[in-house]
Amino acid sequence: MSKNYYPEAQPAVPGRKAISRLALDPSPCRACPVRPLSICDSLAEDELQHLAAIVSPLRLGPGQPLFDEGEQADFLFNVISGCVKVYKLLPDGRRQIIGFLFTGDFLGLAMTDVYAYSAEAVTGAELCRFPRRKLESLMERYPQIEKRLLGLANHELAVAQEQMLLLGRKTAKERLVSFLLMLSKRARMDGSDADQVFVPITRNDIGDYLGLTTETVSRSFTQLRNDGLIEVTSDNKVTLLDSGALQAIAQGF
């Protein structure tokens, strides 16, 4: 159950040292491959030791929970590799996935003293854990971190609003295409081929993210295949055959 979907052989950030350094290096943050992507980049090289002093690494197997909604929120996290999902539940089991987090993403905005949502690994994942108290006192000392977090929160808010438009007003096909383009955009940012997106997420999770059922997601995939807009291989790779047309669909034209 603990096999990593992003093994050493294909590091999540190509051309950089493998993740295992994180636990061994005496100044792990300085060597951290995801630093340029994360909030940690708001500190200068020689200030990183203060961060390194409070972090601890964390490995999760696929499906392993990180925390549950309502728990005391004592830790914040940074995703080093893999994919983590964040979701809310209704009492009868209805679930809404709020977002998927990937390499470099920060997990810990939008919360009070308790977590406002649950989090669990989708694929195997490596995280960096910050004790909340200690991070807060570090923020007192280095307000740049606060500034960076504000920028992050603003961005997250914009993404959340776009998702509200999707959930409130888009059709099933438009939703799925929007989702695929989000993954494509992310692949481009990571330096991968933007028209060859790897989808490590089940139909069920995609449904719970898009406000649809598994079956509707599956049918929408089939439709897009029949329309000649995508190709799906058995190993969960989706090829975008006409990203112009897909863009138009996602935006509601």
Partner DNA sequence: CGGGAAGTTGAAGAGCGTCAAAAGTAGTGG
Partner DNA sequence: CCACTACTTTTGACGCTCTTCAACTTCCCG
Does 173 bind DNA (CB under 7 A)? Our answer is yes
Residue 146 DSSP one-character state: H
Does 173 bind a second copy (CB under 8 A)? Our answer is no
Residues 232-251 that bind a second copy (CB under 8 A): 251
Does 153 bind a second copy (CB under 8 A)? Our answer is yes
Closest distance to DNA from the beta carbon of 235 (Å): 5
Residue type, 50: H
Residues 9-48 that bind DNA (CB under 7 A): none
CA distance 205 to 40: 30
Number of residues that bind DNA (CB under 7 A): 23
Burial of 45 (0-12, 13-18, 19+ CB in 10 A): exposed
Query: Which of 18, 20, 72, 162 is in the footprint of a second copy by CB under 8 A?
Result: 162
Nearest to 206 by CA among 173, 246, 228: 173
- Residue 127 backbone phi and psi in degrees, to 5: -125, 165
The tokens of 61 are what? 């197997």
Query: Which of 221, 224, 230, 246 is in the footprint of DNA by CB under 7 A?
Result: 221
Does 113 bind a second copy (CB under 8 A)? Our answer is no
Of the pair 47, 146, the CB lying nearest a second copy is at 146
The helices-and-strands tally (H runs, E runs) of the chain is 9, 11
Length reported for the chain: 253
The tokens of 116 are what? 């406002």
Q: Using CB under 8 A, list all residues that contact a second copy.
A: 88, 90-92, 94-96, 98, 109-112, 116-117, 143, 146-147, 149-150, 153-154, 156-158, 160-165, 167-170, 208, 210-211, 251-253
